[in-house]
Amino acid sequence: MPETLFHISDIPNIARFEPRPAPSPKSGQTGQMVWAVSQRLLHNYLLPRDCPRVTFYAGPTSSSEDIERLMSYTSARYIVAIESHWLPEVRRHHLYMYEFPGESFSSVDEGADYYTSRETIVPRSVTPLNDLLGELLKRDVELRVMPSLWKLRDAIIASTLQFSIIRMRNALPPEDGFDAHPPPP
């Protein structure tokens, strides 16, 4: 268990994080909880909340073929892909990084590095993040800016890479003739 965990928000000055219902039935979590993420995958959340993204990296069970096919030509350990039309919003958006003590949290998903606590959490500190591109790029991340995420999303789902696919319900529709599998939310 990490000593320190983080929560990213677009709300400044949250004094206490009260447990709330899971954000999605897909999480497999029930009841009230506070969500956090480790430093290792914090970059997955350094974007505006509603920005759709496909994030991925090579894990211990990733095949060399998938790594070569989807991660070749990068020296970064992690890849975050967003839609092109979101770039101006990423440039102007501000976020706040809350630091939590890790002791009351338990791991929910090792691959995504999610943690939850059933207790009210008082943050140790809050740090304003005013340059999201700069924050992403100082974390061993390649940022891919693409017209559409759908083909990449399908390729990543079908691969052996570790991934998180976030807010795809906000993505532009797939291009005509492209059949997303599984279908868009």
Contact 96, 127 (CB under 8 A): yes
pTM summary value: 0.91
Q: What is the pLDDT of residues 12-31, one digit of tens each?
A: 999 999 999 987 777 678 88
Element containing residue 44 per DSSP (H, E): none
Domain definitions of the chain by residue range: 4-169
Q: What does the block give as tokens for 126? A: 């809050």
Q: What is the mean pLDDT of residues 114-122?
A: 96
**Considering the chain, what is the average pLDDT of its residues?**
93
- 80-114 pLDDT per residue, tens: 999 999 999 999 999 999 999 999 999 998 878 88
Tell how strand 53-57 and strand 125-129 pair up.
Answer: unpaired
pLDDT tens for each residue of 172-182? 999 877 777 66
**Adjacent-strand bridge partners of 8:** 97
Confidence at residue 89, expressed as pLDDT on a 0 to 100 scale: 98
At residue 13, φ and ψ (nearest 5 deg) are 60, 45
Inform me whether the pLDDT recorded for 121 exceeds 60.
yes
The number of angstroms, rounded, from the C-alpha of 141 to the middle of its chain's C-alpha atoms is 12
Residues 140 and 58: their CA atoms lie apart, in Å, by: 13
pLDDT in tens, 144-166: 999 999 999 999 999 999 999 99
Distance CA(10)–CA(146), nearest Å, equals 24
- 30-39, 83-92, 126-135: lowest mean pLDDT where? 30-39
Cα separation, 114 vs 46, in Å, equals 15
Q: What integer pLDDT is reported at residue 23 of this predicted model?
A: 73
**CA 173 to CA 162: how far, in whole Å?**
24
* pLDDT(46) > 90: yes
